[in-house]
Structure 1
Amino acid sequence: MLKKLKILSVFLVFFFMLPIITGLLPFPNNQKYEPPMAEEKQVVYASSNVQSDKTAEDVTATEVTATGDSSASDVTPTMDSFDVLFVFTHSQETYKPFVKSQTGTVAVYDDQANLLSMSKAMEDYFKLNGLNATTLDVDIMAETVKQGKTMASSYSTARTFLSQELKENKYDLILDIHRDATGHKQSTVTHKDVGYAKTAFVIGAENPNYKTNLSQANALNQALNQIVPDISRGIIEKSGDGVDGVYNQDLSNNLLLIEIGGIENTEDEVYRTIAVLAQAIAKTYVN
């Protein structure tokens, strides 16, 4: 009886140890299973290769998911790059789809999700095209309200900050970026099944730099439409009663006011156009 118990004990120990022994043997299917890591989403920007024969598909070869997060990309300008300053005189202008995605509400002006908050992503698009872009980091509309003035006084508010900036730094091009009030049909162009926010240049005809500004706007207008046909609505000259007529363009002969899209354009449509604009500037001024 004792002998049978010993034999049974040996068998029980053997079957208990069998999985452990098997795990130590070099069988082909015995590797430790590692679950796949979730791929981290990264911001994808338009191509930085600027060539004269480049098509719009090259500019938007990958879908844009830019968020404006400063940690989203490692983008640095090239040596001796072309210096661009972004100004947002109507800093809280925004796009309905963009505000809705950020706050859940629908608005055409917002103190958080607006043109100014999109500036970091815009800078990155320019830097990828060899343009050293920086932003006049002032919420000009908030400053205007703080001074007890109306929105019509935004240009005089901006003038104070812009004048000081231009005393301290020099720029090859200054872009005062705005959003138009038109609907989606008027503010969007589709090229080969891809949507872009349309642009328009506004030139104050009552400033001493009028001819130079107009010449530069014409050159950029043509370059934009060569990349994406009809992406630019052209140039709007402003003068006379009831309009500014200057738009601070007397501060620099390199200051252009550009409208990008309308109130219903999506974030992607706007960023695609920023990418095209960066390429147009690189082709016109740098190349």
Structure 2
Amino acid sequence: MVRKIKGLVFTLLFFFSLPIVIGLLPFPNNEKFVPAAPEEKILFASNDLVVSDVAPPADAYKVLLVFTHSHETYKPLLENEKGMVAVYDSKTNLFSMHKLFEDYFRLNGISAKTLQVDVMDVMKQKGKGFHEAYKTARPYIAEELKNNHYDLILDIHRDSTSRNKTTVVHKDVSYAKASFVIGAENPNYKHNKAVAQSISNAMNQIIPNISKGIIEKKGTGVDGVYNQDLAKEFVLIEIGGIDNTEDEVYRTAAVLAQAVANGLARK
């Protein structure tokens, strides 16, 4: 009787253990499941970004984009478009990139609008010199600010220095460096500078050293105001230089939009 009971117990233990043993064997379907590592947040999509279905909330932080030197361009961008090299162009330029800049802000819940004035084209029509760009843009900006409220005005430019001074690489991805120019001869100087510093700090928190910081301008031979007297939240930003690629510029535009959303828009 005892022998029968031992046999029954052994049989039950065998059939109970069999699935566990089989599961430990190296069959194709018995591979250990390893969850995928979380993907790093994508800052930059591509220059064919589509955000037509993304709309910021009605009370969204509002940004006005201005392109005073509207025909500033990048050598690689113009080479791709026209097979030639130049640093200014009437068609392929910073102003022509405004839609993507708007889209990156929109993706971050910010309402962005571009001042629809090709300033350098207006200068050409009126026979104005390059040094008159800010004076030419001024009435258009003033009129826009009179009719609409904005939390931030960004005048977007391109630096003229070489690639080694305008590029930063982070995790094997290259970005166009940014710098902020503040006119130190206007009544809003301190407030302009504080806003610029806030954006610069936020950008560097996302991509270390992407912002070169703030450049103050005053004295003989410079504007010293840059229309920043028109609003306390008026900032001039230079994105990249003549040798930066289109993708590098857009990556930095994405970082800029996220920095504004993370910093100023949350205050």
TM-score in terms of structure 2 length: 0.82
Q: Which letter does structure 2 place at the counterpart of 1:183?
A: S
2:63: which partner in 1?
Answer: 84
Q: Which letter does structure 2 place at the counterpart of 1:92?
A: H
Distance 2:140 2:42 in 1: 34
1:252: which partner in 2?
Answer: 231
| Correspondences of 1:129-208 after superposition (within 5 Å) | 129-208=108-187
1:104 Cα deviation after fit? 1.8
2:205: which partner in 1?
Answer: 226
Contact 1:227 1:276 in 2 (8 A): yes
| Residue of 97, 107, 111 corresponding to 1:128 | 107
| Residue of 54, 59, 77 corresponding to 2:42 | 59
**2:214 is paired with a residue of what secondary structure?**
strand
Structure 2, unaligned stretches of length 5 or more?
A: 1-38
Contact 1:59 1:276 in 2 (8 A): no
| Residue of 248, 252, 277 corresponding to 2:256 | 277
Give the share of equivalent positions with the same residue, in percent: 57
Distance 1:151 1:134 in 2: 25
1:73 Cα deviation after fit? 4.0
Structure 1, unaligned stretches of length 5 or more?
A: 1-55
| Correspondences of 1:40-119 after superposition (within 5 Å) | 57-60=40-43, 64-67=45-48, 73-119=52-98
Contact 1:94 1:114 in 2 (8 A): yes
Q: Give the number of equivalent residue pairs.
A: 228
2:244: which partner in 1?
Answer: 265
Distance 2:45 2:82 in 1: 20
Q: Which letter does structure 2 place at the counterpart of 1:224?
A: M
Moved over 4 A (4+): none
Q: Which letter does structure 2 place at the counterpart of 1:278?
A: A
Q: Which letter does structure 2 place at the counterpart of 1:274?
A: A
Q: CA RMSD in A?
A: 1.6
1:65 Cα deviation after fit? 2.8
**2:263 is paired with a residue of what secondary structure?**
helix
Q: Which letter does structure 2 place at the counterpart of 1:256?
A: V
2:190: which partner in 1?
Answer: 211
Distance 1:223 1:196 in 2: 15
1:32: which partner in 2?
Answer: none
1:78 Cα deviation after fit? 2.6
Distance 2:93 2:175 in 1: 18
1:87 Cα deviation after fit? 0.2
1:72 Cα deviation after fit? 7.0
Contact 1:86 1:176 in 2 (8 A): yes
Deviations 1:101-139 (A, max 9, x none): 112221110100100000001100000001100100111
